[in-house]
Amino acid sequence: MNPAISISPVKRFLNMLKVDKREIMSVYVYALFNGVITLSLPLGIQAIINLISGGQVSTSWFILVIFVIVGVIASGVMQIMQLTITENIQQKIFTRSAFEFAYRIPRMKMESIKNAYIPELANRFFDTLSVQKGLSKILIDFSSASLQVVFGLILLSLYHPFFIMFGLLLVVVVYLIFRFTAPKGLKTSIIESKNKYMVAHWLEELARAMETFKLAGQSPLPLSKTDDVVEGYLTSRKAHFKTLLTQYINLVGFKVLVTAGLLLIGGLLVINQQMNIGQFVAAEIIIILVLNSVEKLILSMETIYDVLTSIEKIGNVTDIPLDSDSGTTADTSDDQGLSINITNLGYRFSYLKEDTIKNVNLSIEAGEKICLSGYNGSGKSLLLHVVSGLYDEYSGSISSQGVPLTSWCKADFHKLIGDNLTRGDIFNATLFENISLGKPEITMSRVQQVAEIVGLKDFVDAIPQGYYTTLLPEGRNLPQSIILRIMLARSIAGNFKMILLEDNFNQLNEKDKASFLDFLLSQQWTVIAVSNDPFVADKFDRTIVMEKGEIIAKGTVSSMTTYPWYSNIFSKK
């Protein structure tokens, strides 16, 4: 998460409501009328009691009964309208949240998520459901209860000055309860949520590494680590419930005092003939409604905490900085590949003391085929990732087509690159979608063409649904060689200007390797590939050898046979 962004959960909640402010205003209008109607019913009951106390049935009595019944019906209609509107708002929130996650995840800055596990962060989407459920209660119950308290106190003040004091006391007590317990309740709710996600994350890890733990036999780690994270959750939940309990105890104590006081004082007012029986009954009904409304307010606090916490958790994802959509785009209208110029390039991971790649200078012509070779950990793959535009926080400079990489529109630059980087993966979609990535310019005929080039055709012919077969996440149940071929097909399927490939050629048989390389190197795109296979490197225009993050040799692989490191780096596999 971007440390520069610090928005309170309450402000996030208010910002969310602004989007649907028209519908929310309608909910409040219905709540307003519903509150007025609900509190007008005791007045009707008071009048009915006064009429029937005479022991006679009159037209006025009949009209008042109809009035009360119509009021109950109108109140129900208002509630139904509120439910309809809030349901619409809930659907909008779910839709917006789903599309925002889908938009943001592919565009997140890599440096911002280097210490995060994105599948676990994506679980924050489920907090949308908590927002949906809680928002309805806040908009309807909380707003209706608040209005009923306000109107009830106004109505009570008309009966006797004593009730004005009661109203002031009620407002002060409710304010003090919220003032001293709400901030702590929100804080403990957020801590509880963090621990809840720690439990879910660990269970996901168990599921992801199921085979590892299965083959480990009777390892105590799954249960012992589960015990640790569950204990953390239970501790935080108890702390949160303690705050809720404090609010409930204050509420119960306040209700007892108010009920006792009003019964005694109200009775004395009737005895002293300062109120009649009808007024006393109506006042008691209003007081009960007010107290019930206050109880709703207090009991709604847990829902409010849950909603604010969920919005904060969603904010953990939406606060992550994105790649900029602005920037320039160089002229790439010709059929040539991209040119790349690297000057004094350095990159250091935050957890390391030294640069992983340092002082790299390299110029690659448009359409040139470059092979990166070197020892494991020499920085070859990292250089490929930096050139692809995945990382921004490097020293030195990189330009393509004469335009600095930092000035390019990232989306436009990535459109021009086909890649088979080690981070590439199979996702839950059809084989056709895994190769085309949903790009409209990649047709079925093109997918069939590249599948034949990488040796995938026999596999496709052998499965019943062919290219429309749905693949499992991470290519579950697929041989590793098939997964490689799918990703190779993906890397060359589009109208790309540059191809970036990791060292996976040795997983192909000799025939498929030769066929793929012949096609790859015969095109006009620029190619940068990682390989220590001399057969592969010999087919490229130049080979760049790296050691400890620096370039130690450039040229053809055949010109490097005299170097002492040649036999250690290049070996026929």
Per-residue pLDDT averaged across 444-471, rounded? 92
* CATH code of the domain containing 527: 3.40.50.300
What span, in angstroms and rounded, lies between the C-alpha atoms of 563 and 275? Answer: 109
What span, in angstroms and rounded, lies between the C-alpha atoms of 522 and 509? Answer: 20
DSSP 303: H
Range of the domain at 280: 9-318
Q: Does any domain span residue 323?
A: no
pLDDT at 125: 92
Residue 2 has pLDDT above 70, yes or no: no
pLDDT at 502: 86
Q: Please check whether residues 20 and 122 belong to one and the same domain.
A: yes
Between 363 and 259, whose confidence is greater?
A: 363
Q: Please check whether residues 56 and 143 belong to one and the same domain.
A: yes
Q: Please check whether residues 310 and 435 belong to one and the same domain.
A: no
Per-residue pLDDT averaged across 19-47, rounded? 79
Q: Please check whether residues 303 and 402 belong to one and the same domain.
A: no
* CATH code of the domain containing 37: 1.20.1560.10
* 3-state DSSP assignment of residue 333: coil
- Number of compact structural domains in the chain: 2
Given a contact cutoff of 8 angstroms between Cβ atoms, the answer to whether 174 and 251 are in contact is: no
Q: Please check whether residues 369 and 309 belong to one and the same domain.
A: no
Q: Please check whether residues 198 and 156 belong to one and the same domain.
A: yes
Q: Does any domain span residue 376?
A: yes
Residue-wise pLDDT tens digits, 362-388:
999 999 999 999 998 899 989 999 999
Query: What does each C-alpha distance from 53 to 60, 268, 284, 353 come to in angstroms?
Result: 13, 21, 18, 91
Q: Which of 362, 365, 331 is nearest to 346 (CA)?
A: 362
The whole-chain average pLDDT of the chain stands at 85
Lowest mean pLDDT: which of 29-38, 177-186, 299-308, 411-420? 29-38
Q: Does any domain span residue 437?
A: yes
Q: Please check whether residues 306 and 391 belong to one and the same domain.
A: no
pLDDT at 424: 59
Q: Please check whether residues 84 and 135 belong to one and the same domain.
A: yes
Q: Does any domain span residue 15?
A: yes
pLDDT at 4: 45
Residue 41 has pLDDT above 80, yes or no: no
Q: Please check whether residues 292 and 346 belong to one and the same domain.
A: no
Domain closes at, from 288, 318, 348: 318
pLDDT at 275: 73
Q: Does any domain span residue 563?
A: yes
Q: Does any domain span residue 2?
A: no
pLDDT at 79: 84
Taking only Cα atoms into account, the Rg of the chain, rounded to an integer number of angstroms, comes to 35
Our CA angle for 146, 150, 155, nearest 5°, is: 145
Q: Please check whether residues 122 and 261 belong to one and the same domain.
A: yes
Q: Does any domain span residue 326?
A: no
Q: Please check whether residues 288 and 400 belong to one and the same domain.
A: no
Residue-wise pLDDT tens digits, 341-361:
999 999 988 778 888 899 999
Percent of the chain predicted with pLDDT > 90:
33
Residue 56 has pLDDT above 80, yes or no: no
Q: Does any domain span residue 206?
A: yes
Bridge partner list, 500 = 419, 528
Predicted TM-score of the model (pTM): 0.81
Q: Please check whether residues 201 and 59 belong to one and the same domain.
A: yes
What span, in angstroms and rounded, lies between the C-alpha atoms of 311 and 292? Answer: 28
In this structure, the number of other CB atoms found within 10 A of the CB of residue 435 comes to: 29
pLDDT at 1: 46
Through-space distance between the first and last CA atoms of the chain, rounded to whole angstroms: 43
Per-residue pLDDT averaged across 527-534, rounded? 92
